[in-house]
Amino acid sequence: MTICPEQSPESQDNPDARLPGYAGIADRRLMISSATLVDLGFTVVEADVLAAWGQVAGAMATVAAVVVAFWIALRDSRHRDAERRDSESAHARLLSAARAENPPALRISYTNFGAFPITSVRLTALYGRCGDIKTTTWHIDGTAAPYVLGAVAPGKTVTTPPITVTWPEEADPVAALYYPTIVFHDANGRWWERTAHEQPKRLLETPPLIARLPTAD
């Protein structure tokens, strides 16, 4: 009688288990399987990191796009505001000052070179400069209160009464430069202030009423 060696249940179900060295093959399979799991785990982590960096890059690109769009909108808004201000002040720039007479009876004239009348023209301030020397006071008929010149029709000129200007003794009043400031109302209902030949400045509030009327020439 031939006695067969005892077989394990695994050998009964798996013919390969009866082959020599099967245990070593199984161990290697276990090692390969473990390595595969390790590799797969590393790949998942790496993919998560790449996905996170992709989200960060996308968020940064979105923020950059928003910033660029905001900058373009702000630039366009500034350009539109500048064009609007330039259009609004076009008429105001056409009221030009000139020295009509020299001191001691200084007189300033204003000519309207525009196509529409300018009203409520008033002289509100005046100073002179001769080198580093400046005037100390000015007045018309003994007062430095604003003086109303009235309306200036298109192509017409109005002139102030004689203006008395006080200087330090070392100044030359005739050679000096004078900077009168006027306030006026344009045909579009806007109030402006302009000093000499500087750019007119828009006044958002209505100036106070002045009871001092212009004198007849």
Expressed as residue numbers, the domain containing 41 is 1-88
Give the mean model confidence (pLDDT) for residues 56-61: 84
Residues 55 and 117 in one domain: no
Q: Does some domain include residue 103?
A: yes
pLDDT at 213: 61
Residue with the larger pLDDT of the pair 207 and 123: 123
Q: What is the pTM of this model?
A: 0.61
Residues 198 and 100 in one domain: yes
Q: Is the dihedral of CA 136, 184, 158, 90 positive or negative?
A: positive
Give per-residue pLDDT as tens, 60-106.
888 888 888 878 877 777 766 666 666 778 999 999 999 999 999 99
Cα distance between residue 78 and residue 5, in whole Å: 98
Q: Does some domain include residue 212?
A: no
Q: How many residues does the chain have?
A: 217
Give per-residue pLDDT as tens, 100-144.
999 999 999 999 999 999 999 999 999 999 999 999 999 998 899
Residue with the larger pLDDT of the pair 15 and 60: 60
Cα distance between residue 174 and residue 73, in whole Å: 51
Residues 101 and 199 in one domain: yes
Give the mean model confidence (pLDDT) for residues 12-21: 51
Give per-residue pLDDT as tens, 133-172.
999 999 998 899 999 999 999 999 999 999 999 999 899 9
Residues 80 and 143 in one domain: no
Q: Which of 31, 55, 88 is the last residue of a domain?
A: 88
Overall domain count for the chain: 2
* Residue 208, Cβ density class (10 Å: 0-12 exposed, 13-18 middle, ≥19 buried): exposed
Distances (CA, A) of 176 to 82, 92, 161, 165, 172: 34, 26, 19, 11, 6
pLDDT at 36: 46
**Assigned token pair, 167:** 């200087």
- The torsion angles phi and psi of 23, rounded to 5 degrees, stand at -60, -40
* Contact between residue 193 and residue 201 where contact means Cβ atoms under 8 Å apart: yes
